[in-house]
Amino acid sequence: MTRIIQRRMIAPLLIVVPLLALFAFVAVRSGPLAPVRVTETRVEARRISPSLFGVGTVEARATYKIGPTFAGRIARLDVDVGDAVKAGQTLGEMEPVDLDDRVRSQGAALRRAEAALQEAQSRQTYAKSEARRYEELYAARSTSEEILAAKRQELKIADAAFAAAREDLSRARFDHEGFLAQRSNLRLVAPVDGVVILRKADPGTTVFAGEAVIEMIDPGKLWINTRFDQIGAGGLGPDLAARIVLRSRDSEPLAGRVLRVEPVADPITEEALAKVAFDAAPAPLPPIGELAEVTIGLPQRPAAPVIPNAAVSRIGDKIGVWRIVNGGLRFAPVKLGAADLDGNVEVREGVEIGDRIVVYSERTLDARSRVRVVDNIREATR
């Protein structure tokens, strides 16, 4: 009877113990207690050619806003958005209203002033001859001193009248020229060769003095207002070559060059601002405001410790890497430097050349994590 009971107890144990062993093996090898699979690399000393990547928008270096110099109504517009225009070309004209009548009136006033000047000049010439004749008569004792004084006074009056008539003529001429200038300003003229990008009003619309009716740009003077991360912008400067990819033409990179670096950065986004100009005007002209990706190659840097950018981790407010030391993990805060577009980044301090560091891990790491180094996490998981 006792043997039967023992056999009944041993039989379940023979089943349970292997199952527990199998469960423990699975838990340790592939369960929550299993080591975290990671890939590793060693810190190397290399020279990298850092590149800056930024995003910006297409802008015009100069926008010309063309409008009337006085309030009025638009009579006609000869161009529309997208039209190419030449310097000096008439783009439209304002209605003269009563300006033509005022020009004619001022022309008549100018002619009247010219006639008044001729009359004053004739009176002056006659007064001079009379004064000279009476001086000769007075010298010959043929007239009195009072009559001579009267003739001299008449000459002074004639001189003053001539001077006043001459000033009146000058004023009338300036007024007439001013009205003619206003008449010519009724024409809206293109200041440079360019393209019309905006037409703010149509014929018949009343506009104020100085209000823009047409806006145009010079298509040969476009640039990209670009933003770069300040961390890697230390070598950014004028004349560096740039690669520009417009959002609408991602398969057609364009050549450009850094025109200038703005002296004021954005303190909110921690970005440096730069103007990147095209080497040649793109055709067709990109829309103003289109997004563009800009890549700038910086000069090659001296040899320094380099790690993959994928190895960089963040714990709280600290940036660092996970070092593999004696089979365990140790978080090492680092100070990063320049980076290139191949995914490499300089380490200024925090690690030494030859240190083993984690590049990729199958899940989040901490200082208590056990790790198992593999060549490829995806293949090791299969």
216, pLDDT greater than 90: yes
147, pLDDT greater than 70: yes
Tell how strand 214-217 and strand 84-85 pair up: unpaired
Tell how strand 371-373 and strand 36-42 pair up: parallel
2, pLDDT greater than 80: no
Query: For the segment 85-141, what is each residue's pLDDT rounded down to a tens digit?
Result: 999 999 998 887 766 677 788 888 888 988 988 988 898 898 888 888 888 888 887
31, pLDDT greater than 60: no
Query: For the segment 220-274, what is each residue's pLDDT rounded down to a tens digit?
Result: 889 999 999 887 777 788 999 999 999 988 888 999 999 999 999 888 888 999 9
Query: For the segment 222-234, what is each residue's pLDDT rounded down to a tens digit?
Result: 999 999 988 777 7
Task: Determine what percent of the chain is predicted with pLDDT higher than 70.
Answer: 89
Q: Cα separation of 132 and 274, whole Å? A: 81
In this prediction, residue 99 carries a pLDDT of 66
What sign does the CA torsion over 223, 227, 232, 235 have?
A: positive
Query: For the segment 354-374, what is each residue's pLDDT rounded down to a tens digit?
Result: 999 999 988 888 888 888 888
18, pLDDT greater than 70: no
In this prediction, residue 143 carries a pLDDT of 77
In this prediction, residue 8 carries a pLDDT of 56
Mean pLDDT of all residues in 206-214: 89
The token pair at 223 is 């640039």
- Report which of 235, 302, 232, 359 is spatially closest to residue 45, judged by C-alpha positions: 302
Mean pLDDT of all residues in 12-29: 51
- Structural domains present in the chain: 51-59+221-297 (2.40.30.170), 67-95+187-217 (2.40.50.100), 98-185 (1.10.287.470)
- Phi and psi dihedrals of 83, rounded to 5? -75, 140
75, pLDDT greater than 50: yes
β-bridge partners, 169: none
Mean pLDDT of the chain: 84
E-assigned strand segments in 298-370? 304-308, 313-315, 318-325, 328-333, 335-339, 344-349, 356-361
In this prediction, residue 87 carries a pLDDT of 92
Q: Cα separation of 111 and 115, whole Å? A: 6
